[in-house]
């Protein structure tokens, strides 16, 4: 047999420019170099969207039938051109995958139909959108920064029906006492923002929750990290210092060590209890991010 393997033009180029003895060096860091990126997986420095879509795809494959139904009820979630994948004919993005899982956790322990909901820090409104699309929410109040609220108001007006949108009250942080009046709520929600606030501000909100709410759902980081390989500290050292000082849990841990995260989660459950008299109804890891935890707390008079 005279035939033998031939090197095609692509691998001629790779051998000359990206994978050769000179570039391999002493092996000390080759698994974080162009050498290994050509051989095993995509360059993490330039393939963020590729990895994000891979994450979304794998999470979509794990969705329960109930969460698929929750997702399909949310109309308009493609507004804004999110990074999405198509799974079983359905367009899916990370934000709403997380939102339906949040709702799933809450619904295991609380009936939201007819409920009054308060959300502290709504972002662009994905959680409100998800709850309003899946449950017969009686009223929904958002407390936020005026700048962020301009986005959530515009977004929610676009994706919700007029009837749904009419149930939402928007309150800027400098007008809480006046605008809230004597309102009380069945559930308060905070996702990924209490950990970015000053401790005094967190304590203010906890007092508000303890006074006016029957339940509190939180989904936040269990601590801080200093792993420069994640983002090369792209926002600068000043931004890192501000992030490390914010929130109730400032311990620096290895956020990709599941045992370290679970150990820190014990502190999370204690720290995020709005008042000593409240009890934690349920808590668990908030996938997909390794260092996020979720918990539902209940006021002492509820259920008696």
At 240 the pLDDT is 65
Question: Does the pLDDT value for residue 243 go beyond 70?
Answer: no
At 234 the pLDDT is 62
Distance CA 124, CA 191 (A): 12
pLDDT tens digits along 77-134: 999 999 999 999 999 999 999 999 999 999 999 999 999 999 999 999 999 999 999 9
Question: Does the pLDDT value for residue 260 go beyond 60?
Answer: yes
| Cβ–Cβ < 8 Å for 224, 195 | no
Helix-strand-coil split of the chain, %, nearest 5 = 45, 20, 40
Distance CA 41, CA 232 (A): 20
Closest alpha carbon to 287 in 42, 120, 56, 126: 56
Cα–Cα–Cα angle for 19, 232, 29, rounded to 5 degrees: 30
- β-partners of residue 154 are none
Q: Which helix (H) or strand (E) holds 155?
A: helix 146-159
Q: Which of 26-30, 112-116, 195-199, 249-253 has the highest mean pLDDT?
A: 112-116
Distance CA 84, CA 91 (A): 6
| Cβ–Cβ < 8 Å for 147, 170 | no
**Alpha helix ranges (H) inside 27-93:** 34-39, 48-60, 65-72
At 191 the pLDDT is 97
Among the residue ranges 41-45, 64-68, 147-151, 255-259, the one predicted with the least confidence is 41-45
Question: Does the pLDDT value for residue 303 go beyond 60?
Answer: no
Closest alpha carbon to 224 in 242, 247, 251: 251
Q: Which helix (H) or strand (E) holds 209?
A: helix 199-212
Binning pLDDT at 50, 70 and 90, where does residue 304 land? very low
Task: Provide the 8-state DSSP code for 288.
Answer: S
| Cβ–Cβ < 8 Å for 165, 153 | no
Question: Does the pLDDT value for residue 171 go beyond 90?
Answer: yes
At 247 the pLDDT is 83
Closest alpha carbon to 142 in 120, 159, 157, 114: 120
Average pLDDT of 228-255?
75
Q: Give 10 or 96, the one with higher predicted confidence.
A: 96
Packing angle, helices 94-107 and 65-72, rounded to 10: 120
Question: Does the pLDDT value for residue 216 go beyond 70?
Answer: yes
At 57 the pLDDT is 98
Quick one: what percent of the chain has pLDDT higher than 70? 94
Distance CA 286, CA 292 (A): 5
Q: Which helix (H) or strand (E) holds 168?
A: strand 168-172
Closest alpha carbon to 115 in 205, 192, 214, 219: 214
Question: Does the pLDDT value for residue 74 go beyond 50?
Answer: yes
Q: What average pLDDT does the chain have? A: 91
At 287 the pLDDT is 95
Distance CA 65, CA 90 (A): 13
| Cβ–Cβ < 8 Å for 143, 173 | yes
At 40 the pLDDT is 81
Distance CA 134, CA 131 (A): 5
- β-partners of residue 85 are 92
Among the residue ranges 205-209, 217-221, 247-251, 265-269, the one predicted with the least confidence is 247-251
| Cβ–Cβ < 8 Å for 35, 28 | no
Distance CA 290, CA 262 (A): 10
Question: Does the pLDDT value for residue 183 go beyond 60?
Answer: yes
Question: Does the pLDDT value for residue 46 go beyond 90?
Answer: no
At 239 the pLDDT is 62
| Cβ–Cβ < 8 Å for 51, 44 | yes
């Amino acid at each position: 047999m005279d035939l033998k393997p031939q090197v095609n033009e692509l691998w001629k180029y790779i051998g000359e420019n990206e994978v050769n003895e000179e570039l391999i060096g002493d092996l000390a860091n080759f698994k974080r170099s162009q050498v290994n990126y050509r051989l095993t997986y995509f360059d993490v420095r330039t393939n963020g969207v590729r990895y994000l879509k891979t994450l979304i795809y794998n999470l979509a494959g794990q969705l329960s039938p109930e969460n698929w139904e929750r997702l399909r009820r949310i109309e308009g979630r493609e507004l804004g051109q999110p990074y999405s994948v198509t799974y079983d004919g359905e367009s899916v993005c990370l934000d709403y995958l997380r939102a339906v899982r949040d709702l799933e956790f809450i619904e295991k322990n609380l009936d939201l139909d007819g409920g009054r909901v308060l959300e502290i820090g709504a972002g662009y409104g994905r959680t409100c959108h998800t709850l309003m699309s899946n449950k017969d929410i009686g009223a929904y109040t958002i407390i936020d920064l005026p700048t962020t609220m301009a986005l959530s108001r515009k977004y929610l007006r676009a994706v919700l029906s007029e009837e749904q949108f009419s149930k939402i009250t928007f309150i800027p942080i400098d007008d809480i006492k006046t605008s809230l009046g004597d309102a009380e709520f069945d559930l308060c929600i905070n996702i990924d923002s209490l950990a970015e606030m000053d401790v005094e501000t967190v304590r203010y909100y906890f007092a508000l929750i303890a006074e006016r709410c029957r339940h509190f759902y939180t989904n936040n980081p269990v601590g801080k990290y200093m792993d420069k390989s994640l983002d090369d500290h792209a926002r600068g050292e000043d931004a890192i210092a501000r992030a490390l000082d914010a929130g109730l849990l400032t311990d620096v841990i290895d956020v990709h060590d599941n045992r370290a995260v679970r150990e820190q989660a014990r502190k999370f459950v204690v720290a995020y209890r709005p008042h000593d008299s409240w009890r934690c109804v349920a808590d668990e890891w908030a996938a997909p991010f390794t260092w996020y935890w979720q918990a539902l707390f209940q006021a002492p008079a509820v259920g008696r």
